[in-house]
Structure 1
Amino acid sequence: MCPDPHPLSSTRRRLLGAAALAGLATPWRLRAAPADTPRLLVVFLRGACDMASLLVPAASDDYLAARPRIAIARPGSAPDAALALPGEVDWALAPALGDSLLPLYARGELAFVPFAGIHELSRSHFETQDRLEMGAADGSPAEVRRSGWMNRLAAEIGAGRGEVIALTRELPLILRGDIAVPNQALDGASLAGVDARQAARLRQMYAGTALAGAVDDGLEVRRMAQQDLAPGMEPAGRGAISARGFEGEARRIARLMRERWRLGFVDIGGWDTHVGQGGATGALATRAGELGRGLAGFAAELGEAAWRDTVVVVMSEFGRTFRENGSRGTDHGHGTTWMVLGGAVRGGRIVGEQVPVGFASLHQGRDWPVLNEYRALLAGLLGRMYGLDAARLGRVFDAGVGGASGPGGGLV
């Protein structure tokens, strides 16, 4: 449990619970047909995005002191300063997001959750990514630790065949498990070598077996995704698409989610900014702008009706150091900021448990603390979206997260 060195007054401490995060005017409930359930898209920023350069701690003098070459100036203090958020004094938005995420925030369709993440601390990209995707504790049964929380969620909500997709080169841990889920890289790489003749052989091989339907659905989903998504891709390292590639493909992803997919996962690489990170402009700002325009394009392409039944969760494995390093970048950190977007999200605010951003509140003297634990955060959101009680959420996250209606959603 992370210490809270600066207890806040009730007017500044905002404890994130189920209603605070999802904030739905009317809670979603499972309907008769799985196709009527809400859509969920999870966007994983692999490489540990420095979210302090997207959601800027504008009120912190220590932030400016800790980053003399890469800090983003306070709103109104410079031509390329951070952008003021309506009704907010402690936080501001990176100027690179002014044409994309600021309008969503102003419409109340985007919420930021700072000090979010996982309590376990390894500072290893791969280890922390796996833990976040697994969504279970170290002491969980082996079969749970080999599966991912999105696959277990699909089982709980009865997502049908062909309604779940991983837009990745390899099937990520988050979607591994009992439910058969196809994966399709956005650059078409995962379809290499699977031509019509080989597809026919696969169908013949599994004909008459319990897997026949899953094989048919998987091949069809891959065919559709290749046809609709393959042109114009830009792959990134480690199997993740680049932010620029995501910007270019977000509208196509939206069309397919509107028409068929109910649960989707996409990862975006390029966020490990040890060197030459930049501030209001530069490498990270460029990627952030591409990400923001992709998310805004996704929302616009879905259309108003579908957007009201869609939630997008943007996460990264951990944050980065509060202080800049000697290479004008930042190193592996701990707490970070998550984003939650959607037409039914009660956004336009910064939610969750918080402490003042500064040297005195750092974890181990270097990082943001984690105050909003990711499983409790997700449990509150998913419980509201899908009408899941504590027992069902426990199966998704292997217990320990409380019910969707519990005060604080089980957060520390």
Structure 2
Amino acid sequence: MIARSGDRPMGTMRDLNRRHVLAGLAGLAPMTVAGRVWAAPKADARLLVVFLRGAYDAANVVIPVSSSFYYESRPNLAIARPGSGVGSALSLDVDWGLHPALASSILPLFQRGEVAFVPFAGTDDLTRSHFETQDTIELGQEVNVRRDYRSGFMARLAHELTGVRPISFTEQLPLTFQGEVAVPNVAINAVGKAGIDSRQAKLITAMYEHGPLSGAVAEGFRVRDEVYQQVTDHMMEASRNAASPKGFELSARRIGRLMRETFNLGFVDVGGWDTHVNQGGATGYLADRLGELGRGLAGFAEEIGPKWNDTVVVVLSEFGRTFRENGNHGTDHGHGSVYWVLGGGVRGGRIAGEQVAVDQPHLFQNRDYPVLTDYRGLLGGLIRQLYGLDAASLGRVFANVTPKDLALV
């Protein structure tokens, strides 16, 4: 059984579990293990990991605009090439574009050199299971060894650092913070709702009650509610009660203030990315969620103020999605993804990491992006540079990993 903390639902940022806060403050004292005093690197930098639960469709966010195969594979979902008019991709370089929903939030950061995107990133977990792969990433352990569910990679990182002040912006303590260091958690969950609530639906139904469209209107709302409930249930299952993108947008500035003033190692999960049906292209469901996510990240960057220069935000997801759209105008569980690395000191404004042509011969199993940059290597390279970890310390965070230095910090 996996032990988790913070089982009591928390409605606002004030609802910190007092026991966890006190334990977290106690965890700031000098740490000793087996009689040994740590002489660990100091946690001067700030690191926030944003986990997009549900597997976001990376190919429609960082778009391979130079690939004709992309446009052949997505006749209903593809984002038009830059310069094609309203709703077209925002140019990043000759090969890649950005979803237009991120025009006012992430694009300015990219243009200032504060965002880098790493395509073809992910894990060697091939289950395509939300839960298995989320666990894989949060634990940060090798796939082919027995899992220790009480040892998440962020807990291990916190254990290697002095002056660390960790926090999880989640309803329950996630796997990644399971370990020897006490970590407080606080929920920011705010579940999204349908565009028309039940009161509005009743008013509209009453308007048509005695007319020829009465039956059609009533049936339309019935079907809508049924479909919405099915989609919501499925997404919430994949999201593991993570905050909605709207919830993240509304809370990101509060997260920024807390990480500016008190905490320096954080984790937040954002759900709602399992887009099997009616995903949308330049507009629609995914576009709306991206807009919320982008505004949240931009608000966080603004709120954290001058500390932004010493902050790194990593945005990742358990896996990507199928490169070809499915018959329901959506995408299914895939493999390789695109990670985001943001921060005032990030060497951004570029697409980083190993790349291949986006065409049919380079698909993984003829369906997905391949993984060319392993997430443990990428994160290992980042934290080694951020905190100056030596090989032994890094090995305790990510065992048997060769850190990949993409010159991001």
Q: TM-score, normalised by structure 2?
A: 0.76
Matched, 1:131 2:119: no
- 1:96 is matched with 101
Pick closer, same or farther for the CA change 1:278–1:142 going to 2, 3 Å: closer
Matched, 1:181 2:183: yes
- 2:67 is matched with 60
Contact kept, 8 Å, 2:189 with 2:242, in 1: the verdict is: no
- 1:327 is matched with 328
- 2:20 is matched with none
Contact kept, 8 Å, 1:383 with 1:404, in 2: the verdict is: no
RMSD over aligned Cα atoms: 2.1
Matches within 5 A, 1:355-366: 355-366=356-367
Contact kept, 8 Å, 1:35 with 1:262, in 2: the verdict is: no
- 1:221 is matched with none
Contact kept, 8 Å, 1:96 with 1:286, in 2: the verdict is: yes
Give the counterpart letter for 1:116 in structure 2.
Answer: A
Matches within 5 A, 1:93-172: 93-140=98-145, 143=148, 145-160=149-164, 163-172=165-174
Q: Which runs of 5+ in 1 are unaligned?
A: 1-31, 190-234
Give the counterpart letter for 1:46 in structure 2.
Answer: R
Pick closer, same or farther for the CA change 1:124–1:33 going to 2, 3 Å: closer
| Alpha-carbon distance in structure 2 between the residues aligned to 1:404 and 1:351 | 11
What SS does structure 2 have at the residue aligned with 1:239? coil
What SS does structure 1 have at the residue aligned with 2:240? helix
Q: CA deviation at 1:243?
A: 0.4
| Alpha-carbon distance in structure 2 between the residues aligned to 1:46 and 1:185 | 15
Contact kept, 8 Å, 2:378 with 2:404, in 1: the verdict is: no
Deviation per CA, 1:335-373, whole angstroms, max 9, x where unpaired?
000000001100000000000111111000000000000
- 1:375 is matched with 376
Q: CA deviation at 1:78?
A: 3.1
Pick closer, same or farther for the CA change 1:75–1:331 going to 2, 3 Å: same
Match of 2:263 among 261, 268, 282: 261
Contact kept, 8 Å, 1:334 with 1:368, in 2: the verdict is: yes
Pick closer, same or farther for the CA change 1:330–1:142 going to 2, 3 Å: closer
| Alpha-carbon distance in structure 2 between the residues aligned to 1:373 and 1:253 | 28
- 1:76 is matched with 83
Match of 1:43 among 24, 36, 50: 50
Give the counterpart letter for 2:89 in structure 1.
Answer: A
Q: CA deviation at 1:298?
A: 0.4
Q: Sequence identity, in percent?
A: 60
Larger relative contact order (CA 8 Å, sep ≥ 6): 1
Larger-Rg structure: 2
Give the counterpart letter for 2:54 in structure 1.
Answer: G
Q: CA deviation at 1:146?
A: 2.9
Q: CA deviation at 1:77?
A: 1.8
| Alpha-carbon distance in structure 2 between the residues aligned to 1:261 and 1:170 | 18
Pick closer, same or farther for the CA change 1:281–1:395 going to 2, 3 Å: same
Q: CA deviation at 1:402?
A: 2.6
Q: CA deviation at 1:37?
A: 1.1
What SS does structure 2 have at the residue aligned with 1:112? strand
Contact kept, 8 Å, 1:34 with 1:157, in 2: the verdict is: yes
- 1:299 is matched with 301
What SS does structure 1 have at the residue aligned with 2:307? helix
What SS does structure 2 have at the residue aligned with 1:265? strand
| Alpha-carbon distance in structure 2 between the residues aligned to 1:114 and 1:187 | 29
Pick closer, same or farther for the CA change 1:260–1:138 going to 2, 3 Å: same
Q: CA deviation at 1:182?
A: 1.7
| Alpha-carbon distance in structure 2 between the residues aligned to 1:140 and 1:332 | 24
Q: How many residues end up aligned between the 2 structures?
A: 324
Q: Which runs of 5+ in 2 are unaligned?
A: 1-38, 192-234
Q: TM-score, normalised by structure 1?
A: 0.75
